[in-house]
Structure 1
């Protein structure tokens, strides 16, 4: 009888252990697929040994890097603190906190202690990014003076992109407002006029959306104003003037307000001729559908019954769908699409012609809201610069259909209204 009881207990313990391992594997899979809501729900329901790590991960993608670090610190000296994913998350929190010295330090750990976790291309990219943090490591963090609710005027440039006025060194000019820019950008000549501090060359290369590499410098804007919002120590990629000149000089971009600034502006409302920024705004309950993966916004959209992550890029004129999208919906796309040639270009990149699949008059869902996509274009040969896990890039052709677009980095939602 005693032996039977022991055997029963052993079987129960084995079953519990197996269930824990299965749950941990599923949590890891959900995190890798950017299914963050499902991940957090399961993590709260079944508290595995990695519970606080996944709480830290969810806080990170919800734009709460301070809270994420508190969860990571609570792990103390557990096994997970010796793992790649721990340092990867720590590194990303430091980047989001503008703690460049610790971003540089943790990037060094990733590329040395965990070098086997990277492909050669990924390691080269991480080493290149580390050179950014190296040149910034003695710089002060970005700070935005406190505000509650402010609006600024906007207009569309020749490419149909949203621009707004910025002021620095008593000079004002128009910059593109671009959620898809991982770091703000400026031309070298304008950076000097605006009194930016140009840091020493550290052999940094930046990949444009079209896949073209450009060598850049790093610049610091001591004080930059967007309307009445005052930003201190904003970091900019400083490009050669030629990189921001298109169509033989017919279209020129002066600079770009990028994601590290935008994510600190709380709830951003885009209307026809204005941008409104609100901090600590009390809101009605909205489902979380907007997250921050490293330095880019991810929006969850539904196509043909599948809820998937897409890069959210207000600086892209047209939306695009990639090889991951094609692989998932191959049968439908092969049957209903036509082959076209299309040209793409981005800041810092030359124009490139691609062969794309095109579908007319498609619908995608944001929650329960239907969005019409008159021309859905898919590149079936390229995952794009954002990798396999994202399914495409959402731009102005979709965003611009709506009179009011609300992007909340405080409360993690995108809302589209007419």
Structure 2
């Protein structure tokens, strides 16, 4: 009997053989490359599907690697990358090879394969540093050190078989708080799809007797402030009644997640690597969270991954927009990219305000335009936001996207559905 993986490789080989000697259409190639640079994966996927016959095998493999990863097919993405490097490495620039290796490392991280990712980052630094600028070198050293420090940790494992309902709740700051327990110690952590890694303050890590790893890493925040963090591992962690093993945490100094001016202390954050493993999550208006036994398919395909961020497609009037999805954010916002794309309209109807932005590292004062009655459609539902700020600062996590979706949108309906298996977001 042919296994599914063998069948995929066989059919994939047939497809590539049919295009091995095809000429490359430079116009289509340029369009695809532009969409890739813009992180516009929905348009990229559609254009690629409709024009496979106009690309050489090398260019087809290249684009398929990125599209597969964006839509959650990480094993398939690595098959494309490995085939491309095995057959065409001598024809690729060092910059392209570096980009492919970076993508491959990200695919390993989604499977909690920290050593494999760290080894790739080491290869990039040792063999391709001549095509990196100083910022790239700093960033690659940082992620190499981060994941190298946990390279001996086994992969994260989730133990869940049946329907689970978690008694989460929204606190006074509209953060979605989830009960967690490790080594007999219980606490409530923020449930935050916008956190690239789960996070814990140092005092809480010690209280829960987590395994501390003395590796300092620089962590960016929504206030543009870099914070030095350590690492810790929870051998076992209950999120509600769901048991996870080998959960990696960033460990922050207590003062970095303490906000005395509003009498608020964050003890920890359940981030994307844990949430993603749940496969499908239902966030209810009353604050509770439910995890179905199986993941429901849908005609919708309105989400992709960029890095460790879920990105959702939305529509506002005549605009098709892309938003990072951040259940840890109290309010949604429109990005600096959106401001540049709609500058005349925003400056005409928006009100310029000076506001405080809070995050790891403390508070920052920012200027932003405020728009009122902003219409938005996500999945099968439409609503309006009474107000939404337009930031005048460019943040790395959504520099390519139109904004960030927070709790003010997510609580407009009874239930938010996030399906990481079939790649969609919808409401009930």
TM-score for both structures, normalised by structure 2: 0.88
**1:36 maps to 2:36:** no
Label 1:75 to 1:278 Cα distance change in 2 as closer, same or farther (>3 A). Answer: farther
SS at match of 2:422: coil
Cα displacement (A) at 1:136: 1.2
**1 CA distance for matches of 2:385 and 2:411?**
11
1:233-272 alignment, distance < 5 Å: 233-248=246-261, 250-271=263-284, 272=286
SS at match of 1:351: strand
**1 CA distance for matches of 2:182 and 2:276?**
20
The partner residue of 1:400 within 386, 411, 422 is 411
Match of 2:70? 61
**1:350 maps to 2:359:** no
Label 1:211 to 1:87 Cα distance change in 2 as closer, same or farther (>3 A). Answer: same
**1 CA distance for matches of 2:381 and 2:137?**
40
SS at match of 2:277: coil
**1:26 maps to 2:31:** yes
Match of 1:391? 402
Aligned residues between the structures:
397
Q: Name stretches of at least 5 consecutive residues in structure 2 with no aligned partner.
A: 1-21
**2 CA distance for matches of 1:67 and 1:105?**
20
Label 1:368 to 1:406 Cα distance change in 2 as closer, same or farther (>3 A). Answer: closer
**1:74 maps to 2:83:** yes
**1 CA distance for matches of 2:420 and 2:137?**
30
The question of whether the paired residues in 2 share the 8 Å contact of 1:267 and 1:407 is answered with yes
Listed one character per residue, the Cα deviations across residues 12-70 of structure 1 (whole Å, up to 9, x for unaligned) are: xxxx84x6222222222222222222222222222222223333322212223223223
Label 1:68 to 1:296 Cα distance change in 2 as closer, same or farther (>3 A). Answer: same
SS at match of 2:138: helix
Q: Which sits farther off after the overlay, 141-150 or 210-219? A: 141-150
Cα displacement (A) at 1:387: 4.8
1:1-400 alignment, distance < 5 Å: 17=23, 20-47=25-52, 48=55, 49=57, 50-75=59-84, 77-79=86-88, 82=92, 83-200=97-214, 202-248=215-261, 250-271=263-284, 272-278=286-292, 280-283=294-297, 285-346=298-359, 348-367=360-379, 369-380=381-392, 382-400=393-411
Listed one character per residue, the Cα deviations across residues 150-191 of structure 1 (whole Å, up to 9, x for unaligned) are: 111111122111111111101111111000000000011111
The question of whether the paired residues in 2 share the 8 Å contact of 1:80 and 1:86 is answered with no
SS at match of 1:415: strand
Label 1:333 to 1:404 Cα distance change in 2 as closer, same or farther (>3 A). Answer: same
The question of whether the paired residues in 1 share the 8 Å contact of 2:229 and 2:251 is answered with yes
Label 1:324 to 1:112 Cα distance change in 2 as closer, same or farther (>3 A). Answer: farther
The question of whether the paired residues in 1 share the 8 Å contact of 2:257 and 2:362 is answered with no
Cα displacement (A) at 1:249: 6.9
Label 1:172 to 1:406 Cα distance change in 2 as closer, same or farther (>3 A). Answer: same
**1 CA distance for matches of 2:132 and 2:385?**
37
Cα displacement (A) at 1:367: 4.5
**2 CA distance for matches of 1:27 and 1:246?**
45
TM-score for both structures, normalised by structure 1: 0.90
**1 CA distance for matches of 2:330 and 2:206?**
29
CA RMSD of aligned residues (A): 1.9
Which ranges of 4 or more aligned residues in structure 1 deviate by more than 6 Å? none
SS at match of 1:405: strand
Listed one character per residue, the Cα deviations across residues 212-252 of structure 1 (whole Å, up to 9, x for unaligned) are: 11111100000001122110000000111111111347111
Q: Which sits farther off after the overlay, 261-270 or 59-68? A: 59-68
The question of whether the paired residues in 2 share the 8 Å contact of 1:269 and 1:406 is answered with yes
Cα displacement (A) at 1:305: 2.2
